[in-house]
Amino acid sequence: MFRIAICEDNRDFSLELESIIQRKFFHYNIKCHIGCFYSGEDILDNMLNYKEKYDIIFFDIELPGLSGIETARKIRKLDESIIFIFITYLNEKVYEALDLTIFHFIRKSHFHKEVDLILDSLIKKLEYLTQKYSFPIGDNNIYLKLYDIIYFEVLDRRVIIHTTDNTHISNYRSLKDMPYNLTEKNFYEIYRGIMINLNHIKDLIDDKIILSNDDTLYIARRRFNDFKKEFYRYISSKREG
């Protein structure tokens, strides 16, 4: 079951969004539990003092008191895996939240047009999050969620798999040995033998990439322009309804 929170000070809007989410998840036969909060302070208190955990949080950016972005920054320090979706009248505000690795944002001015499309994208994301892939490690296979993989790195003719909580040395000798089309799963080979998960880019400074685990990698000069196009396409896919 996926645990979802809505942090929105307009109670009528919050209830409408809750109803839409419930119908969508029911349509896909996915179980969920939804909690509604009306300020950033409320949801933080719930998570800090009652130790509640959520898989997905919908934030109104313009909350009274602690803003949605400020609240999300505090929550991100508690849990790096939560999916954030922002709701706003002020489209430009969402750019202040890119460091939070947001999934999408919904414009209130286009709410009914966008929410259904974004929830469909969210369902696909959840299917992606739960799907596991097999990798040969020593004499055994281990199963990893692709989303948990930050990047692949070839060292000494072995593909090293860097995940959110561990590092694995696989039996694969090159990226081409892996039987998965990772470019279709938001991975990009920034340098020969280094393929990163675009979901885990924390910052991009010139040709330097800082990943969610704070590892710093560099983009090959000849791949830089193509990478920028691919990365901005990926970012745009999060902004457009």
- For residue 134, what are the CA distances in angstroms to 9, 108, 174? 44, 41, 16
Asked if residues 20 and 31 have their Cβ atoms less than 8 Å apart, the reply is: no
Q: Which ranges constitute the DSSP H helices of 51-110?
A: 68-78
| pLDDT 10s digits, 189-238 | 999 999 999 989 988 898 999 999 999 999 999 999 999 999 988 877 65
Q: Is the pLDDT of residue 241 over 50?
A: no
Asked if residues 105 and 78 have their Cβ atoms less than 8 Å apart, the reply is: no
Q: Is the pLDDT of residue 97 over 70?
A: no
More confident of the two residues 156 and 239: 156
Q: Is the pLDDT of residue 36 over 90?
A: yes
| pLDDT 10s digits, 78-93 | 988 899 999 987 665 6
- pLDDT value, residue 40: 97
Going along the chain from its start, the domains and CATH numbers come out as: 2-130 (3.40.50.2300), 132-239 (2.40.50.1020)
d(CA 196, CA 219): 10
Asked if residues 134 and 142 have their Cβ atoms less than 8 Å apart, the reply is: yes
Q: Is the pLDDT of residue 101 over 60?
A: yes
Q: Is the pLDDT of residue 240 over 60?
A: no
Token reading at 191:
């340098």
Q: Which of 198, 55, 24 is nearest to 123 (CA)?
A: 24
